[in-house]
Amino acid sequence: MALLAFPRPGWMAGGDFALLQLDWASDWTIRTGFNGFIELEFDGRTDRLHAGPLPGSSKGRMLWRGAYAYFIAVAPLEFGRRICNSCNIEWTLEYRHESQHYTGSNSGGEGEDVSEQPYVGDAFVLDVALSERLGHWYFAERAIVRRFLPERSSYRIGFGADVHARWMAWRAVHPFTSLYGEWVDGEDLYGRQYPDAYRLRGLLGFALPSALGDILVFGSADVGNRYGVRILTEEATLGLGVRLVIGARPP
């Protein structure tokens, strides 16, 4: 779960749920399940508080974006140990669907035609993740390849990568930084050629760890295309947010 206060209000809730796990010969772990999220974002900048202490905007529409995926993940435990004593590696293959919408006015007015906006649609996604603990440092890296299904997306193929570093010498607070980048190749869909899109984002902040999970407080900086209905908009922003991660934290 995440709350973004600036530059525009945004909320996200999501989860990754493993329904079945198999341990094979003590060297391999195979799990399968599903994941998904829903994200709400105002089109306008934060300019007030509404619904209590939550940020709000009096300008622009409410934008929706959501996705779900079914996955199978394989973790070769012994292979990870060969890379380093504290390394863990996992390959994941998933089928993913993403869609986006906007909320219109409840008091009349004209709607907005977004039928010509790029549509993310359906894709097969392969990612390889690696984590390691080196002294007081915890690192996690991930490489992502997305192959979009023909005639069901405005894109052809996409690539992404992220890196996370956390200093864990202190029990009460863990400073961290994360970097993420992605690029997707535009496709011809229903007679319209869509442009490529890219995003670069960095987070810098601190984590408050607990047995339940982590609370992450961070500043963000990003450049590139927006997500969802406004994906054709390119911008650079500075932001402030907080994220609650339940049931998952570094070892």
Asked if 174 and 136 touch (Cβ cutoff 8 Å), the reply is: no
Q: CATH second-level architecture of 2-107+114-246?
A: Beta Barrel (2.40)
Instruction: Count Cβ atoms within 10 A of the Cβ of residue 186 and give its class: 0-12 exposed, 13-18 middle, 19 or more buried.
Output: middle
157 contact partners, CB below 8 Å, separation of at least 6? 145, 146, 147, 148, 184, 185
Average pLDDT of 227-232? 92
Please state the pTM of the whole predicted model.
0.89
Encode pLDDT of 41-50 as tens digits. 988 889 887 7
Two structure tokens written together for 198: 């890219």
Encode pLDDT of 126-157 as tens digits. 999 999 999 999 999 999 999 999 999 999 99
What is the Cα–Cα distance from 175 to 169, expressed in whole angstroms?
Answer: 10
Encode pLDDT of 91-133 as tens digits. 999 999 999 988 866 565 667 778 788 989 999 999 999 999 9
What is the Cα–Cα distance from 29 to 98, expressed in whole angstroms?
Answer: 28
pLDDT at site 81? 85
Average pLDDT of 201-224? 96
What is the Cα–Cα distance from 228 to 99, expressed in whole angstroms?
Answer: 7
249 contact partners, CB below 8 Å, separation of at least 6? 209, 213, 214
Out of 2-6, 25-29, 205-209, the most confident range is: 205-209
Does residue 19 carry a pLDDT above 90?
A: yes
CA neighbours closer than 13 Å in the CB half-sphere of residue 26: 0
Encode pLDDT of 55-76 as tens digits. 888 787 889 999 999 999 999 9
- Assign 3-state DSSP to the chain and report helix, strand, coil percentages, each to 5: 5, 65, 30
Distances (CA, A) of 51 to 2, 42, 57, 106: 17, 14, 12, 18
